[in-house]
Structure 1
Amino acid sequence: MEQQASNVLESDKGWKIWWQLTRPHTLTAAFVPVLLGTVLALQFTKVDILLFAAMLVACLLIQAATNMFNEYYDYKRGLDTEHSVGIGGAIVRNGVKPSTVINLAFSLYGIALLLGIYICLNSTWWLALIGIVCMAAGYFYTGGPMPIAYTPFGEIVAGFFMGFVIILISFYIQTGYINGDSVLISIPVSILVGSILLANNIRDLDGDKENGRKTIAILLGKKGAIILLGSMFVVSYAWIIGLVVTGISSPWLFVAFLSIPKAVKATTGFIGKSQPIEMMPAMKATAQTNTIFGFLLSIGLLLAYML
């Protein structure tokens, strides 16, 4: 009986190791854009559930694989230790072989590629090119000779590919076209996806500076980066006001404003904090802002469609 309980415990621990390796708090950055693009398409056509599911799973796999590439290359460059905050820790804490992590990441890319083929068969093969570019961006975020994560462009790349592009693809595979509404609605969510990376870079500012990175948080300084983060939240909510006031979208989109307390918590949570562990709640609140904002925005679009 004791041996059986021990096996269960070890199994549970193993499951947690692999789950943490995906960095689950970041996966909503893939879920929200797919949901939003699909709900937006519902106003113009009947939604294909299988295409939605394929797009969602593919994006989640690409996000998880990107996180594993991050884990692998940060370890190879000596950036991660067992005391590092905000990592999966499979390599430095749990003894998982680096080769296992990188192979798993490429395996997830392989599955995403197969799902992409299904999506292309039911839409257009032009999406294959776009998908490959998105996957390349995920890899080169921390891989390659000049990782995007080492430059001031990480937030822009993340917001563009994980927000703007995913929303438009999710909309396109359902409708067969892109319209002005889909482009305009994608902007605030793209900004909030970028804010997740900015929050991460604020937390890691000191360590990144020591390791030669030139993130926007380093270039602006901590105070400037926090101001930028707050400004990104303000622009996102102001964008919704603009869409409603100009008559482009329904007032139901104002339901997204229920996420404002999380945005405030995310911004103020960085003030006066110096240790990465102290800034984790603020970083978590930033990711939650993106999730809640996008989910509520989807609800607002759905209500506008139904009522």
Structure 2
Amino acid sequence: MAHTLQADSGWRVWWQLTRPHTLTASFAPVFLGTMIALGHTAIDWSLFSAMLIASLLIQAATNMFNEYYDFARGLDNENSVGIGGAIVRNGVTPKTVLTLALVLYGIAGLIGIWICAQTSWWLLVVGGAAMAIGYLYTGGPYPIAYTPFGELFSGVVMGFLIVIIAFYIQTGEVTAYAAMLAVPSTLLVAAIMLTNNIRDMVGDAASGRRTLAILVGRSKAVTILLAFFALSYGWVLLLVLFASLTPWALLVFLSAPKAMQVVKTFKRYTEPLQVMPAMKATGVTNTLFAFLLGIGLLIHYLLV
């Protein structure tokens, strides 16, 4: 049965354009990196706030680039699921969407320069590379989103790198401990992208994309998604058992039911609209996992 998606109006047009269910991929790593840093130094909350705002702006802008370039390549229509829909359903001009994305990038860049001035100018290179990847994800002649490497790039940049930068701007160093704690964030951000690609397999294949989900098939893609979740929780358990991570970190398992809900939904349903709740649940899993891990670290710091 065909479903028709209704247009948004008012502020909802712009809110949906940001694809809010993906924004946790920015918040969660910044929070986690800052909580890891709390064991090394007092937190500079102005740097935390600046990093958080810049990350959210970059994620929102990346989503807008996605909206613009998918429309420009003829991939989106008024019934496409999972898009902001500003262009094809709500009548916003493509130029407006692209301009807004560039403005958000510009603001994020200015915030990044301020962070560099307070910490290290080497971050200008790292942050610039991350922003370039955000643009090239769907922009440029060879979009990353059209390849099997979307999960890898999104996980490494939005999951791992943001945790490390958030930790570095507070401590002035990068440690193996911080890197190990960033691994689950990497996997869960990759999971957000994988759920997106599983949902869009039919349309993506018709448009010539060669995502990981398309290459391995739907069943194996869902298995990989399950592996991302299992490895995230298993990694924390291993760190508690063998790497002196506080047992309070096991609070992350309180988020496991959300992850199970995601996998069950994808195993039960195949229609894009039917699996939309799983998309949101993946973002919630990422947020809860990072929040609970951060709270576990905070409790440990307060008790020692």
Shorter-chain TM band:
over 0.9
Deviation, structure 1 residue 272:
3.3
- CA distance in structure 2 between the aligned counterparts of 1:256 and 1:303, rounded to whole angstroms: 13
Q: Describe the superposition over 1:41-66 as per-residue Cα deviations: whole angstroms up to 9, x where unpaired.
A: 01100110100000000000000000
Q: Which amino acid aligns with 1:230?
A: L
Alignment partner, residue 21 of structure 1: 17
Alignment partner, residue 241 of structure 1: 237
Matching residue within 112, 120, 126 for 1:124: 120
Deviation, structure 1 residue 274:
2.3
Alignment partner, residue 36 of structure 1: 32
Alignment partner, residue 139 of structure 1: 135
SS at match of 1:271: helix
Alignment partner, residue 250 of structure 1: 246
Alignment partner, residue 277 of structure 2: 281
Report if the CA contact (8 A) 1:181-1:248 is conserved: no
Alignment partner, residue 4 of structure 2: none
Alignment partner, residue 109 of structure 2: 113
Deviation, structure 1 residue 239:
0.2
Alignment partner, residue 213 of structure 2: 217
- Point out where structure 1 has 5 or more consecutive residues left out of the alignment: 1-11
> RMSD value over aligned CA atoms?
0.9
Report if the CA contact (8 A) 1:155-1:194 is conserved: yes
User: Which residues of 2 match residues 80-119 of structure 1 at below 5 A?
Assistant: 80-119=76-115
Deviation, structure 1 residue 81:
0.5
1:271 aligns with 2:254: no
TM-score of the superposed pair, with normalisation by structure 1: 0.95
Alignment partner, residue 227 of structure 2: 231
1:72 aligns with 2:68: yes
Deviation, structure 1 residue 247:
3.6
Deviation, structure 1 residue 281:
1.3
- CA distance in structure 1 between the aligned counterparts of 2:221 and 2:170, rounded to whole angstroms: 38
- CA distance in structure 2 between the aligned counterparts of 1:286 and 1:54, rounded to whole angstroms: 26
Structure 1 segments, 4+ long, off by >3 Å, are none
- CA distance in structure 2 between the aligned counterparts of 1:283 and 1:108, rounded to whole angstroms: 24
Report if the CA contact (8 A) 2:65-2:138 is conserved: yes
- CA distance in structure 2 between the aligned counterparts of 1:300 and 1:152, rounded to whole angstroms: 35
SS at match of 1:213: coil
Q: Describe the superposition over 1:165-224 as per-residue Cα deviations: whole angstroms up to 9, x where unpaired.
A: 100000000000011110000001110000000000000011101110000000110000
- CA distance in structure 2 between the aligned counterparts of 1:102 and 1:248, rounded to whole angstroms: 47
Q: Which amino acid aligns with 2:75?
A: L
Deviation, structure 1 residue 248:
2.7
- CA distance in structure 2 between the aligned counterparts of 1:163 and 1:203, rounded to whole angstroms: 21
Q: Which amino acid aligns with 1:133?
A: A
Alignment partner, residue 186 of structure 2: 190
Q: Which amino acid aligns with 1:188?
A: P
Counting matched residue pairs gives 296
- CA distance in structure 2 between the aligned counterparts of 1:37 and 1:146, rounded to whole angstroms: 32
- CA distance in structure 1 between the aligned counterparts of 2:104 and 2:44, rounded to whole angstroms: 24
Report if the CA contact (8 A) 1:163-1:193 is conserved: yes
Q: Which amino acid aligns with 1:94?
A: N
Deviation, structure 1 residue 285:
1.3
Deviation, structure 1 residue 13:
3.0
Matching residue within 130, 140, 144 for 1:148: 144
Alignment partner, residue 299 of structure 2: 303
SS at match of 2:9: helix
- Point out where structure 2 has 5 or more consecutive residues left out of the alignment: 1-7
Q: Describe the superposition over 1:91-143 as per-residue Cα deviations: whole angstroms up to 9, x where unpaired.
A: 00111010000000000000001100110001100000111100000000000
TM-score of the superposed pair, with normalisation by structure 2: 0.96
Matching residue within 242, 255, 260 for 1:259: 255
Identity of matched residues, %: 57
